[in-house]
A and B are shown apart, each in its own frame.
Chain A
Amino acid sequence: MTQLALVIDLDVCVGCHACVTSCKEWNTSGEAGSLADLMPYGRDPSGTFFNRVQTFEVGQYPDTQTVHFPKSCLHCEDPPCVPVCPTGASYKRAEDGIVLVDYDKCIGCKYCAWACPYGARELDAKRKVMTKCTLCVDRIYDKSIPERERKPACVNACPTSARLFGDVHDPESEVSKAIRERGGYTLMPEWKTRPANHYLPRREAAPCDLPSPSSSSPR
């Protein structure tokens, strides 16, 4: 069975937010209608985004690293958001494992958002239905787009190639190899949601000539 997913390399993400803006640009222009963008130039702008880049400081000073951390729906293999949906609007596609919302069936009860530990779902303030990352399902199969661009918008936009896209169930795919070779991991494994998206940890910093306060590098 195919399970499409993103594999995000935290070693090369520079936190530029190009994936955030390209995601919003693509998904606000689709057939499902625009995503809310309330008071974009006002004092308190608010809008729907399927993808965010966050920044964490990891490690004990002075041995700290700034980790830029892109976050979107993880397309869990056991998604807790799907069985709770009362209408069947939330579903996981059998053919490629993408977790989607049928916007025409959603009643906007927000129960799926409560049932997602990652905060991956946002109720669109204008459309009044739940929205989330679709892995650009309206793009990756579109034959009118050149084949090499049939990837999620965030993947195409990433200037450092920190975002890989592919089938994590195919052991020979680029993403599966990256997970294997780089020790790819999933988020909040304690809830057994089995996210399809994986993250690649920081690599050990190579020694250089400068005296270093410590040789160990935090992830």
Chain B
Amino acid sequence: MRPAFSVVFLTTLIGAGQGLFLALLMVEWAARLSQAPVPAGFLAHGSIVAVLLCCGGLAASFFHLGRPGRAWRAAAMWRTSWLSREVIALPAFIALCMAYGIAHGRGAGIAVFLGAAALAACAALFVCTSMIYACIRFLQEWSSPFTFVNFVLMGCASGFTLAAALAAREASTLVTPFRYGAIILALAALASRAASLVRNARLVPRSTTQSAIGARSAQAVQKSRGFTGGSFNTREFFHGVSGRGLAGVLALFMLLAFVVPLAMLAMAGEDSRTLLALAFAVQYAGLLAERWYFLADARHPQNLYYQSVA
């Protein structure tokens, strides 16, 4: 597939926003369980950052549409479409996360309930976003539980890294738990992503030129796709990058999304503001490359009909 940058930014930005919110919620619940004071100011500021990230993702998604002015219609088919469900879950999460942050800012007791509600919206959003890809059964690279697991782990890893970077500025005692969380999540994401790469490398496409045209012979080759110019089919479903280029993107995201930020997180201390901010920036850049690779990786069966110009 040809990766759409609107989708790359949408899924990585909201993933980081959701991860950041989960990091904040974890701190709040841990504080309540241990009867320690809740760092309300930090939770309020962090929630606003999470909201901004998700709003950025929402804004990016509009660039994906041919007719953005009609985007409001996309909430209609929530009974059947995961995309429609995402269109509902994303604003719901943004609103609840915003309310959660405001409640903490004002010291309102309702924050506990808003946190739980935002957690539900956050989980629903992870499911919706990943199912958009995982539910297309013939895009075999996407049609796997790995899609969901990877989206969750990578979103949470980047969110916890960002939480550590934010904590270094205003709640330094929280840096260490966030840092450990980010390291564990990044390692888990690395393991899960590596496993999905191995799985995808072993996939045998179920569709063949034979099944595409109904040929019984073992030999069937396209001689002409029927036109020499371009079309939607020749643009949308081919990424046009060489095998070496793809391997380069793979190496890049392995390095930037996992290896480098893991090293930075391991080295950072409670006051490493710059290092932790840099760790998030590098990891986010790596996740952009990862999401690009994830989208490009899917081989669409329609490409069997567009093998040869003439």
Interface stretch among A40-48, A147-155, A166-174, A203-211?
A40-48
Interface stretch among B23-31, B74-82, B254-262, B280-288?
B74-82
Given A66-B223, A107-B73, answer yes or no on A84-B302 (Cβ-Cβ < 8 Å).
Answer: no
Q: Please determine whether B211 and A219 come into contact, CB atoms closer than 8 angstroms.
A: no
Question: CB-CB contacts of B122-158 with A at 8 A, as 1s and 0s?
Answer: 0000000000100111110000000000000000000
Chain A residues within 8 Å of B294, by CB: none
Cα distance A97–B225 in the bound complex, in angstroms: 28
- Among the listed A66, A85, A109, which residue makes an inter-chain contact with B64, where contact means beta carbons less than 8 Å apart? A109
Cα distance A78–B52 in the bound complex, in angstroms: 40
Interface stretch among B36-44, B113-121, B212-220, B263-271?
B212-220
Interface stretch among A26-34, A113-121, A133-141, A156-164?
A113-121
Q: Please determine whether A54 and B87 come into contact, CB atoms closer than 8 angstroms.
A: no
Chain A residues within 8 Å of B216, by CB: 201, 218-219
Question: CB-CB contacts of A64-91 with B at 8 A, as 1s and 0s?
Answer: 1011010100000000101111111100
Q: Please determine whether B209 and A56 come into contact, CB atoms closer than 8 angstroms.
A: yes
- Among the listed B66, B225, B302, B306, which residue makes an inter-chain contact with A128, where contact means beta carbons less than 8 Å apart? B66
Q: Please determine whether A111 and B132 come into contact, CB atoms closer than 8 angstroms.
A: yes
Cα distance A105–B206 in the bound complex, in angstroms: 34
Cα distance A17–B225 in the bound complex, in angstroms: 12
Q: Please determine whether B219 and A58 come into contact, CB atoms closer than 8 angstroms.
A: yes
Q: Is A145 an interface residue (CB 8 A)?
A: no
List the B residue with the shortest CB-CB distance to A199: B214
Cα distance A86–B207 in the bound complex, in angstroms: 27
Given A67-B215, A86-B75, answer yes or no on A107-B301 (Cβ-Cβ < 8 Å).
Answer: no
Q: Is B96 an interface residue (CB 8 A)?
A: no
Interface residues on A, range: 35 or more
Given A107-B70, A117-B302, A219-B215, answer yes or no on A44-B81 (Cβ-Cβ < 8 Å).
Answer: no
For the residues of A in contact with B, the DSSP-based class is loop
Q: Please determine whether B302 and A116 come into contact, CB atoms closer than 8 angstroms.
A: yes
B7 CB, nearest partner CB in chain A, Å: 10
Cα distance A54–B215 in the bound complex, in angstroms: 14
Q: Please determine whether A119 and B305 come into contact, CB atoms closer than 8 angstroms.
A: yes
Q: Please determine whether A113 and B226 come into contact, CB atoms closer than 8 angstroms.
A: no
Interface residues on B, range: 35 or more
List the B residue with the shortest CB-CB distance to A39: B229
Q: Please determine whether B213 and A86 come into contact, CB atoms closer than 8 angstroms.
A: no
Q: Please determine whether B222 and A56 come into contact, CB atoms closer than 8 angstroms.
A: yes
Cα distance A143–B226 in the bound complex, in angstroms: 34
Chain B residues within 8 Å of A115, by CB: 136
List the B residue with the shortest CB-CB distance to A46: B230
Q: Please determine whether B224 and A55 come into contact, CB atoms closer than 8 angstroms.
A: yes
Q: Is A123 an interface residue (CB 8 A)?
A: yes
Q: Is B68 an interface residue (CB 8 A)?
A: yes
Cα distance A118–B302 in the bound complex, in angstroms: 5
Apart from A48-B232, A119-B303, list 12 A-B contacts with CB within 8 A.
A57-B221, A58-B221, A84-B82, A105-B73, A108-B67, A113-B232, A117-B138, A119-B302, A122-B231, A123-B232, A186-B214, A190-B207
Interface residues of chain A, those whose CB is within 8 Å of chain B, are 17, 20, 44-49, 52-60, 64, 66-67, 69, 71, 80, 82-89, 105-111, 113-119, 121-123, 125, 127-129, 185-191, 199, 201, 218-219
A-B contact list, 29 entries, CB within 8 Å: A44-B230, A48-B231, A52-B227, A54-B225, A54-B305, A64-B219, A71-B226, A80-B138, A83-B80, A84-B80, A84-B82, A84-B83, A84-B136, A87-B84, A108-B65, A109-B66, A109-B74, A113-B232, A114-B136, A116-B302, A117-B300, A122-B232, A123-B66, A123-B232, A187-B211, A191-B206, A191-B207, A201-B214, A219-B215
